[in-house]
Amino acid sequence: MENKFFAHETAIIDEGCVIGSGTKIWHFSHVMSNCTIGENCNIGQNVVISPEVVLGKNVKVQNNVSIYTGVICEDDVFLGPSMVFTNVTNPRSAVNRKGQYERTIVKKGASIGANATVVCGHDIGEFAFIGAGAVITKTVKPYALVVGNPARQIGWMSEFGHHLEFDSQGIAICPESKEKYVLENNSVKKK
């Protein structure tokens, strides 16, 4: 049976993986055992996807990214160059903590910038936007814009990736899509 995905000849794909149609896996990347990768994903060069990681459809993984066991990325997630997830809160070389991996979920449409680090156990909300170099040490709300080390929220982003400016009624309009967003009780939702 012919693969319906593309893997560069230098890519390594271990046993038990399920890889969706239209997905591309580029140079020197390693997809470890029992991973699930959805349709139309793009896995850049020198990417490590550890055992049992789950990526939804249309996930874009840029070069030099490490995705460790316990991570789930829903559809349409963007992972910027050289960003990394952790999976153990208190790692020690001499202490084996396999089986104690914490779960991290990156919700639909979220973007994580270049060189960011997501400390395990802290989920990223739908369409959240994590700035380059940010260090995530707590859960990020849907549509939140967070930056810095440790990361702090500085605003809200639209589904099209634009900073939202809310009026006195708590309404913002995305300049590209013209979709409306509502800010209530320190949470944003699309109207």
CATH code of the domain covering residue 23: 2.160.10.10
Per-residue pLDDT tens over the stretch 139-186: 999 999 999 999 999 999 999 999 999 999 999 999 999 999 999 999
**Residue pair 26/11 in contact by the 8 Å Cβ criterion:** yes
- Residue 24 — φ and ψ, nearest 5°? -125, 130
Together in a domain, 129 and 174: no
Together in a domain, 87 and 169: no
Per-residue pLDDT tens over the stretch 2-38: 679 999 999 999 999 999 999 999 999 999 999 999 9
**pLDDT for 126 beyond 70:** yes
**pTM of the complete model:** 0.96
Q: Alpha-carbon distance 90 to 110, whole Å?
A: 26
Together in a domain, 65 and 29: yes
Q: 177 lies in which domain range?
A: 164-191
Q: State how many domains the chain has.
A: 2
